[in-house]
């Protein structure tokens, strides 16, 4: 796989910060996003357009977009997460070029997170997708709890395949399988991703893993073996989901970059600058754990640059 490209989306400024007790200022959020972008990370989930009462950390995401839009470089890589049509309208007004829509592989999670059924969330998301197509905005359809739900238990892979097929057919630019609570095991990931790649090809498929049970990178590797080349991760391992009991941090961007680089993939990421972004995330939040491979990256660089 020498030199083959893999696309990393850093969701730390959204999935990460929304779960921190400490609220960052607009300036701090923008500073973090720019540091991650400066390291060469392909895409950054810069915030979400949700109720500031429900998720105070994501208040004023429109101001984050305004700051980033002053600089053409950032608006191309910035993604906004939107939970519903209102969120879509706000994201569009803020100038988002790509939005992430949230789907559910369980009714329990759909109810708790969005007070809708799975089917209702699909209907809403199809409406948003139609609007986005008209507006020239790219859409990522993220299927949350794609492997296991904290409320309803294990998820039938056939259900995930059905939702993925529906949104591929409807014209989603990407479909992402999210292991929202970090409960998936790699054999399960290997099998489901292999079937999806066989049906749809890998170009538009992505995966989003949490490292709750230490299986984060095992699941990434399993998906890589199936042909998946798009992954979400979070700078300094920031992360979690306030609405999903049992969820801890996303796979750290440092860790996934280290593994994929060692495997010979081209991530486009400058690891020295990635360490700087991770340091900043730890400094700004005070609680980000930092990727577990972080202490070894410098040693690895010294060796590989000999």
Site string for its own copies, 263-282 (x = CB under 8 A): xx------------------
Any idea what DSSP says for residue 13?
I
For the bound state, the minimum distance from the C-beta of residue 146 to its own copies, rounded and expressed in Å, comes to: 16
Q: By C-alpha distance, which of 133, 92, 154, 87 is closest to 114? A: 87
CA distance 270 to 194: 30
Among 221, 243, 270, 279, binds its own copies (CB under 8 A): 221
Q: Contact 181/241 with Cβ under 8 angstroms?
A: yes
| Helical (H) or strand (E) element with 9 | strand 7-10
3-state secondary structure of 45: strand
* Active-site residue (options: 131, 149, 207, 241): 241
Q: By C-alpha distance, which of 166, 168, 146 is closest to 157? A: 146
- Contacting its own copies within 132-171 (CB under 8 A): 153
Among 218, 236, 269, 271, binds its own copies (CB under 8 A): 218
Applying CB under 8 A, the span of 14-22, 76-84, 194-202, 285-293 interacting with its own copies comes to: 285-293
Is 131 tagged catalytic? no
Q: Is 186 in the site for its own copies (CB under 8 A)?
A: yes
Q: Is 212 in the site for its own copies (CB under 8 A)?
A: yes
CA distance 291 to 216: 12
Contact positions vs its own copies (CB under 8 A): 1, 153, 185-188, 190, 211-218, 220-222, 225, 246, 252, 255, 258-259, 262-264, 291-293, 296, 299, 303
């Amino acid at each position: 796989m020498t030199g083959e490209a893999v696309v990393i989306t850093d969701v730390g400024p959204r999935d990460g910060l929304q779960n921190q007790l400490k609220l960052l200022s607009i300036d701090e959020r923008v500073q973090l996003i720019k540091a991650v972008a400066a390291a060469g990370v392909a895409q950054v989930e810069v915030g979400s357009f949700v109720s500031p009462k429900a998720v105070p950390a994501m208040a004023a995401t429109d101001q984050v977009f305004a700051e980033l839009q002053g600089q053409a470089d950032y608006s191309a890589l910035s993604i906004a997460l939107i939970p519903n049509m209102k969120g879509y309208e706000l994201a569009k007004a803020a100038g988002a070029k790509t939005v992430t829509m949230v789907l559910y592989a369980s009714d329990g999670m759909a109810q708790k997170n969005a007070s809708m059924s799975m089917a209702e969330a699909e209907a809403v998301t199809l409406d948003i997708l139609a609007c986005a197509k008209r507006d020239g905005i790219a859409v990522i359809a993220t299927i949350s709890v794609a492997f296991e739900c904290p409320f309803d238990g294990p998820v039938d892979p056939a259900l995930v395949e059905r939702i993925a097929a529906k949104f591929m057919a409807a014209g989603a630019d990407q479909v992402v399988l999210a292991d929202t609570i970090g409960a998936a095991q790699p054999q399960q990931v290997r099998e489901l991703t292999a079937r999806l790649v066989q049906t749809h090809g890998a170009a538009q498929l992505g995966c989003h893993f949490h490292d709750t049970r230490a299986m984060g990178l095992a699941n990434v590797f399993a998906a890589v073996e199936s042909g998946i080349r798009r992954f979400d991760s979070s700078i300094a391992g920031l992360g979690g989901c306030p609405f999903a009991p049992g969820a801890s941090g996303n796979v750290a961007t440092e860790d996934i970059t280290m593994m994929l680089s060692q495997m010979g993939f081209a991530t486009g990421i400058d690891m020295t600058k990635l360490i700087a972004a991770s340091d900043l995330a730890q400094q700004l939040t005070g609680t980000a754990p930092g990727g577990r491979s972080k202490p070894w990256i410098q040693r690895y660089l010294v060796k590989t640059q000999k």
